[in-house]
């Protein structure tokens, strides 16, 4: 029997089993069995290098966003509109067969947007190009799940299930469970929070299923069996996801309103020139810009950028204006956004040479604030690194925007005076 069949069989057994206190342990064990099989399923077949088929697109820019969705929901249309890179769009399914990268320039940052083939139910088990598509999703910093506003709402659940089956966790943070395998000493089990959804015995059983007999386990929250399995498997990816309901031009305003109110969702239309039911759509479509022929794409971009959690830091050389043209782009989630991370971005020896940093911006309590390496920077901060051998020039005088300096410096001066 193949792995997929074995998973199906266990799923069927779980569906047959009533959920109650007596079956809890058995169900937990079955969950662990499925998780193990799914991990096996993800291992590339022997002798293959994995990937291939034009799916290995080099990472570029300050972050990567993947367009995931059923066929013909408008992923390629959206990529073309947001990036200007043409990706074939057509009314038949599976128009796109590989991964097509485009670049979004937004807020002085570059974001790589990836168009992908449509995926269908069973993608996680290898249907269609599902596995390759999901592998790309896993390598992304944000998933835009594109949904057709006029189609079944069940699509969102089906896709979420497919992504979960391969270890993607959308809009979730990692469970607060400490887990460490040991060589000896048995299992040490501790909790710092009352557990209502799993107990010690069930944890032991799951560990037994994994043939783990020596480990340290500490629950810091009221986690579930699934959370515990995720932590043991250790290969989960926690990624933010925005649900993008496209084609709202073909549904009624009530549906639009309902979809827009769902969590993490945004409603858009790439195609307001087509049969549109809203009176404002024709006015929007009048302008020549492709993004004007659409609805809410500007909001989508802003939302996407916010979710990426990018932190732009502008460096200010001593005695000069900050360089507002090229930010150093950091991320709190990926790589960190402390003064130390900033230094490492600028030059690898800078950390060693730094005496302290002067910081202007929202992360600073006063301007400029003298900060050490551990200080966490925030978006649009200005940083000057003062090196050990140097001294601050000219005391703590104010630096003024030149008349020809970008207006942003003046703006910033209003918000927070850039002294020094």
Ligand X SMILES: Nc1nc2c(ncn2[C@@H]2O[C@H](COP(=O)(O)OP(=O)(O)OP(=O)(O)O)[C@@H](O)[C@H]2O)c(=O)[nH]1
C-beta of 270 vs 377, nearer to Mg ion: 270
Among residues 35, 41, 73, 203, which is the contact residue for ligand X, using CB under 6 A?
A: 73
Q: How far is the CB of 75 from K ion (least distance, A)?
A: 8
Q: Of 23-82, which residues contact K ion (CB under 5 A)? A: 72
- 384 is a site residue for ligand X (CB under 6 A): no
C-beta of 49 vs 92, nearer to ligand X: 92
Query: Which of the listed partners (K ion, ligand X, Mg ion, none) does 94 bind, with a CB threshold of 5 to 8 Å by partner kind?
Result: ligand X
Among residues 28, 76, 312, 364, which is the contact residue for Mg ion, using CB under 5 A?
A: 76
Q: How far is the CB of 102 from ligand X (least distance, A)?
A: 13
User: Is it true that the peptide bond before 368 is cis, omega within 30 degrees of 0?
Assistant: yes
- 156 is a site residue for ligand X (CB under 6 A): no
Angle among Cα 401, 402, 407 to the nearest 5 degrees reads: 65
Angle among Cα 374, 400, 379 to the nearest 5 degrees reads: 35
Q: How far is the CB of 278 from ligand X (least distance, A)?
A: 12
Q: How far is the CB of 129 from ligand X (least distance, A)?
A: 10
Q: How far is the CB of 96 from ligand X (least distance, A)?
A: 3
Could you give the CA distance from residue 50 to residue 57 in angstroms, rounded to a whole number? 13
Query: Which of the listed partners (Mg ion, ligand X, K ion, none) does 361 bind, with a CB threshold of 5 to 8 Å by partner kind?
Result: none
CB 334 within 8 A of CB 311: no
CB 126 within 8 A of CB 43: no
Query: Which of the listed partners (K ion, Mg ion, ligand X, none) does 74 bind, with a CB threshold of 5 to 8 Å by partner kind?
Result: ligand X
Could you give the CA distance from residue 174 to residue 185 in angstroms, rounded to a whole number? 27
Q: How far is the CB of 273 from ligand X (least distance, A)?
A: 9
Query: Which of the listed partners (Mg ion, ligand X, K ion, none) does 77 bind, with a CB threshold of 5 to 8 Å by partner kind?
Result: ligand X
Query: Which of the listed partners (Mg ion, ligand X, K ion, none) does 274 bind, with a CB threshold of 5 to 8 Å by partner kind?
Result: ligand X
Dihedral of CA atoms 169, 172, 175, 176 in degrees, nearest 10, equals: 160
* Residue with smallest beta-carbon separation from ligand X: 118
Q: Tokens for 394, please give them.
A: 């000219």
- 77 is a site residue for Mg ion (CB under 5 A): no
Q: Of 208-247, which residues contact ligand X (CB under 6 A)? A: 246-247
Q: How far is the CB of 168 from ligand X (least distance, A)?
A: 19
Among residues 269, 321, 338, 363, which is the contact residue for ligand X, using CB under 6 A?
A: 269
Please tell me the count of residues contacting K ion according to CB under 5 A.
2
- 246 is a site residue for K ion (CB under 5 A): no
Contact pattern for K ion over residues 90 through 129, marking x by CB under 5 A: -----x----------------------------------
C-beta of 112 vs 191, nearer to Mg ion: 112
The binding site for Mg ion (CB under 5 A) comprises 75-76, 95-96
The binding site for K ion (CB under 5 A) comprises 72, 95
The binding site for ligand X (CB under 6 A) comprises 69, 71-77, 89-91, 93-96, 117-118, 246-247, 249-250, 269-271, 274
């Amino acid at each position: 029997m193949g792995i997929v069949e074995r998973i199906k069989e266990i799923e069927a057994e779980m569906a047959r089993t009533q959920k109650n206190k007596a079956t809890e342990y058995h169900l937990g064990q079955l969950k662990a069995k499925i998780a193990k099989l799914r991990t096996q399923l993800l291992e590339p077949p022997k002798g293959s290098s994995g990937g291939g088929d034009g799916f290995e697109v080099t990472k570029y820019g300050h972050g990567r966003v993947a367009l995931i969705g059923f066929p013909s929901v408008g992923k390629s249309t959206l990529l073309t509109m947001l990036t200007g890179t043409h990706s074939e769009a057509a009314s038949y399914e599976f128009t796109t067969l590989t991964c097509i990268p485009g670049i979004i320039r937004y807020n002085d940052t570059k974001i790589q947007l990836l168009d992908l083939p449509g995926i269908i139910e069973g993608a996680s088990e290898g249907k269609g190009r599902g596995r390759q598509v999901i592998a790309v999703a896993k390598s992304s910093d944000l998933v835009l799940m594109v949904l057709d506003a006029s189609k079944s709402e069940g699509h969102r659940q089906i896709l979420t299930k497919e992504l979960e089956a391969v270890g993607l966790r959308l809009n979730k943070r990692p469970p607060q469970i400490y887990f460490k395998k040991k060589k000896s000493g048995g299992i040490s089990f501790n909790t710092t929070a009352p557990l209502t959804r799993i107990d010690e015995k069930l944890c032991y059983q799951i560990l037994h299923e994994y043939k783990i007999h020596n480990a340290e386990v500490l629950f810091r929250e009221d986690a579930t069996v699934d959370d515990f399995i995720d932590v043991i498997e250790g290969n989960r990816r926690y990624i933010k996801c925005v649900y993008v309901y496209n084609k709202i031009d073909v549904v009624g305003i009530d549906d639009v309103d309902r979809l827009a109110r769902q969590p993490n969702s945004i409603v858009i239309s790439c195609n307001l020139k087509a049969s549109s039911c809203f009176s404002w759509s024709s006015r929007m479509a009048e302008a020549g810009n492709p993004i004007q022929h659409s609805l809410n794409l500007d909001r989508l971009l802003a939302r996407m950028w916010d979710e990426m959690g990018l932190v732009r830091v502008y460096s200010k050389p001593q005695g000069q204006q900050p360089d507002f043209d090229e930010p150093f782009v950091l991320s709190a989630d990926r790589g960190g956004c402390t003064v130390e991370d900033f230094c490492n971005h600028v030059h690898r020896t800078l950390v060693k040479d730094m005496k302290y940093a002067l910081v202007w911006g929202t992360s600073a309590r006063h301007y400029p604030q003298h900060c050490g390496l551990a200080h966490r920077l925030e978006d649009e901060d200005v940083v000057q690194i003062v090196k050990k051998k140097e001294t601050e020039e000219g005391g703590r005088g104010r630096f003024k925007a030149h008349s020809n300096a970008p207006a942003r410096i003046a703006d910033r001066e209003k918000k927070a005076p850039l002294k020094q």
